[in-house]
Structures are given as structure tokens and as C-alpha cells.
């Protein structure tokens, strides 16, 4: 057994549990601030492993570490036609009976001394803040982790300084086979132009180059044909002439795709570890947020791929969703990888930050029992009351989210099925960072 994999798994799993615990604190703090009675704060589900009671709240850890919750009293309001705490004993229809049973169970938690400590009586904006606190904590954690990674450790940055010059032109397939340059191979444009290691590229075709990304864009967009290359060699400016050729190369934005007939020079950049500023943290957060939002729109399609990988033996996509178990396995692979410890830490932090961002966005989906369902209810209540105030009409009652319980139970069942599928797939056919 590779103990590094086990240690990495446990370490990442611990990071996930801390993230879940902080997510629930994001709900707990504003709830207590606005005077809502919170009876439980738990990390995990199932039987209680350990707990303690402070200030009327039971804090504890459950045996099944796959989530967490806080329990606030009065989540469901009484029916508008009833006095608080008084409900009909008989209800018609299976769904109506289900709704009233859940409503009754919610109201039974309320004691006469609780008064305005119930959730449903709070102002709409207070409800929104309480329910937004969890996802907001995930976003804050992601930002802090990205800041530690970018500003503390730094990231690998490619500089427009030549680190290698390819001697001959080869296809990707030839390179993967390990072919050596021979008489049958033609020299690369860089070799013919006389480029050398440590040459700094400062311009291409008269256009200034500030980064390796700039150089790559210019070379690829130029296509086949002659181009002047401005360089600095040992501190002295020089101009070289090269004739680029057209090659099919992996896309810069998506290496799984191939760009056809782009310009090719035949040099590699120098990569250095460079600390970034605060602006880079915001830029990375925005970029990862956009990609996470796009991934959410393709979530059902990705689940089909997970099903095929779990039961059909199909190859597991690196970009497929994964469970807490899968995240832990990835953490184990990172720990066992043959790489410097600092690089492992950076990748570890990046993965945990990305997971927090994804969890925060998923919880904002406006469906119960996700946080977004309660947020949507609070916003709808605020909109109705604002409209009534403007129109000088009687103030409407609380939004009755109990009416959405049938959909909530259906959504909860769907989440359970999805979670079970992901855990199973992560056991039998997990995502592997290396072959």
C-alpha cells in the first residue's frame, strides 16, 4: 500500500470537512446575529459521534462525513388561514398531507418563549443573507486559497526566453513515439534561423512581444511564411530571419483540440515560478467561476458519461464531476506524484479552491433543498412586499415554501441518486491524473 496516497486522501478529505464546517458557519453566524434559534450545528450525517451544547445550540460531528447542516426552528410558516401553531388535523390529498405533516413537525419545535426567534418571521433580506452565508463562505474560502497559491507560492509562468530549440520538424505522434531527428526530417524554422538557448524574443514581425503567450499568438496567427525575429542575446539586440511553416498543433485554450495549419517556429519557453499580485487572484476567480458555470450547464451530460464509466467500462473524463470520495482520491494521487513538495502543495490548494467554488455555485441553484431554493423564496417575498408597498396594498404574508415540498423531496431523491452514482464511479473507475 502506498501510504502517501492514503495520507493525501485523508488530508484532502479533512480539507473538505473543514470546508463543509465553514459553509455551515456561514449560515450559523448570520442566523444567530438576526436572532434565529439554532438548535443544531452538525458536520456529517447519521448517528452522532461527538457533540457538546453551548448557548442553546448542539455542536457536533456525525458518523457519515458526507456533508453537514444547521437546524433552525420555524423554517416552514403556518398556513395563512391558521393562527400560528394551529393546523387542521385532517388534510385532503397525498401531497397536501405530506406538506401539512412537515409543517406540523416544523412548528412543534417552536416553544412559547421563542417568540420572534423563528426563521420564517425574519425580514426577507435577513433570510436571504442567512441562506447566502454558506455559499458565500465557499467563495471566500476559494478566494483565500487562490490568494495563498498565487501570492504566497506563485505559479509557473512561461517567459519569452528560449529554453530549447527543436532540431527537426515532427508530428505529435512522432514525438510520442520518441523518434530521433534524422536525414528524413527537415530542420525547424528556429534551427535554420539560428535561434539559441537563452535568446530572449522581444519582437516578431515588428510587433513587440512581452510574454510567451504574446509570442505564441503572433506565431500561430502568422501561419507559413517569412518573419523577422527581434531577440536579445547576452544583452545585445539582434534580428534574425525565419520562415515559419504550417503545422497542426494542440490548441492553446484546449489541448484536447487540434488547431489546423498554424504557424510553427520550433522553440520552447523558459518556465519560472513567479508570485502574482491581488489582481491575478480576482482574474483567476473570475475565470474559474465562468468555467464552473459552464460545467454546471453540462452537468446532466457529464453524469451520462459517469454512468457509462461506472457500468460500461468507458474511460473516465478528467473533467467529469466527482464526489468527496473522488476528491480524496485525487488528493492521494497528488501526494504520491513524483514532484517537488512545493508543487504538490500548490496543486493541492488549487484543487481544494476549485472544489469550494463549485460547491458554492451548485448550492445557489434556485431549487430546494439547496440554499438557492430558500434564497429564491426570500427574494420572491421581498418582491411581493415591495410591490404591495408601492401599490399601497395590504402587506402579503410569508412566502409558503412548504408548497414546494413535493419538488423538494424529488430533488433530494435525485441528489441522493447522483451522489451515490458519483461515489460508486469514484470507487470502481476513478478519475486518474496519471495513466
Q: Provide the annotated active-site residues.
A: 24
Residue 105's nearest CA partner among 67, 75, 141 is: 75
d(CA 220, CA 261): 8
**How open is the CA angle 156-162-167, to the nearest 5 degrees?**
125
For residue 60, count other CB atoms closer than 10 A to its CB: 16
107, exposed or middle or buried, with CB in 10 Å at 0-12, 13-18, 19+?
buried
Residue by residue, DSSP assigns 141-178 as HHHHHHHIIIIII-EEEEEEEEEEE-SB---HHHHHTT
Per DSSP (E only), the strands in 183-257 are 200-204, 207-208, 225-233, 236-250
Question: How is residue 87 written as a grid cell?
Answer: 393546523
- Distances, alpha carbon 111 to alpha carbons 29, 74, 118, 418, in Å: 22, 10, 10, 37
d(CA 341, CA 120): 50
Maximum distance among all Cα pairs of the chain, rounded to whole angstroms: 93
Question: How is residue 282 written as a grid cell?
Answer: 480576482
- Distances, alpha carbon 403 to alpha carbons 31, 69, 95, 363, in Å: 23, 22, 9, 20
Q: 126-161 burial, b for 16+ CB within 10 Å, e for fewer?
A: bbbbbbbbbbbbbbebbbebbbbbbeebebebbbbb
Question: How is residue 176 written as a grid cell?
Answer: 510520442
Sign of the C-alpha dihedral computed for residues 281, 5, 427 and 318 taken in this order: positive
Amino acid at each position: 500500500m502506498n501510504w502517501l496516497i492514503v495520507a493525501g486522501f485523508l488530508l484532502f478529505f479533512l480539507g473538505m470537512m473543514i470546508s463543509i464546517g465553514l459553509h455551515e458557519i456561514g449560515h450559523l453566524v448570520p442566523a444567530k446575529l438576526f436572532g434565529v434559534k439554532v438548535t443544531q450545528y452538525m458536520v456529517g450525517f447519521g448517528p452522532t459521534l461527538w457533540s457538546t451544547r453551548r448557548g442553546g445550540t448542539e455542536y457536533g460531528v456525525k458518523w457519515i462525513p458526507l456533508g453537514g447542516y444547521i437546524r433552525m426552528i420555524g423554517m416552514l410558516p403556518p398556513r395563512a388561514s391558521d393562527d400560528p401553531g394551529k393546523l387542521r388535523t385532517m388534510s385532503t390529498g397525498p401531497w397536501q398531507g405530506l406538506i401539512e405533516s412537515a409543517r406540523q413537525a416544523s412548528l412543534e419545535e417552536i416553544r412559547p418563549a421563542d417568540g420572534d426567534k423563528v426563521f420564517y418571521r425574519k425580514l426577507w433580506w435577513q433570510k436571504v443573507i442567512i441562506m447566502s452565508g454558506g455559499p458565500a463562505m465557499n467563495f471566500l474560502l476559494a478566494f483565500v486559497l487562490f490568494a495563498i497559491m498565487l501570492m504566497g507560492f506563485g505559479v509557473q509562468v512561461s517567459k519569452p526566453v528560449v529554453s530549447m530549440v527543436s532540431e527537426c520538424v515532427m508530428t505529435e505522434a512522432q514525438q510520442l513515439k520518441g523518434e530521433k531527428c534524422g536525414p528524413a526530417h527537415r530542420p525547424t524554422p528556429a534551427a535554420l534561423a539560428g535561434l539559441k538557448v537563452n535568446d530572449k524574443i522581444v519582437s516578431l514581425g515588428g510587433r513587440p512581444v512581452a510574454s510567451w503567450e504574446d509570442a505564441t499568438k503572433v506565431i500561430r496567427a502568422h501561419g507559413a511564411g517569412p518573419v523577422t525575429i527581434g531577440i536579445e542575446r547576452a544583452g545585445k539586440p539582434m534580428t534574425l530571419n525565419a520562415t515559419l511553416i504550417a503545422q497542426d498543433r494542440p490548441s492553446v485554450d484546449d489541448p484536447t483540440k487540434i488547431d489546423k495549419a498554424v504557424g510553427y517556429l520550433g522553440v520552447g519557453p523558459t518556465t519560472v515560478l513567479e508570485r502574482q499580485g491581488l489582481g491575478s487572484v480576482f482574474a483567476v476567480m473570475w475565470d474559474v467561476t465562468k468555467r464552473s458555470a459552464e460545467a454546471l450547464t453540462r452537468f446532466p451530460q457529464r453524469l451520462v458519461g459517469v454512468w457509462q464509466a461506472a457500468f460500461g467500462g468507458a474511460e473516465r473524463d478528467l473533467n467529469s464531476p466527482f464526489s468527496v470520495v473522488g476528491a480524496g482520491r485525487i488528493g492521494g494521487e497528488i501526494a504520491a506524484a513524483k514532484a517537488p513538495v512545493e508543487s504538490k502543495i500548490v496543486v493541492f490548494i488549487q484543487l481544494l479552491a476549485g472544489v469550494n467554488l463549485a460547491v458554492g455555485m451548485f448550492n445557489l441553484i434556485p431549487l430546494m433543498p439547496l440554499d438557492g431554493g430558500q434564497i429564491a423564496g426570500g427574494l420572491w417575498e421581498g418582491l411581493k412586499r415591495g410591490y404591495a408597498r408601492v401599490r399601497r396594498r395590504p402587506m402579503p404574508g410569508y412566502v409558503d415554501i412548504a408548497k414546494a415540498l413535493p419538488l423538494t423531496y424529488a430533488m433530494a431523491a435525485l441528489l441522493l441518486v447522483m451522489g451515490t452514482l458519483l461515489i460508486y464511479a469514484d470507487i470502481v473507475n476513478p478519475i486518474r491524473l496519471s495513466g
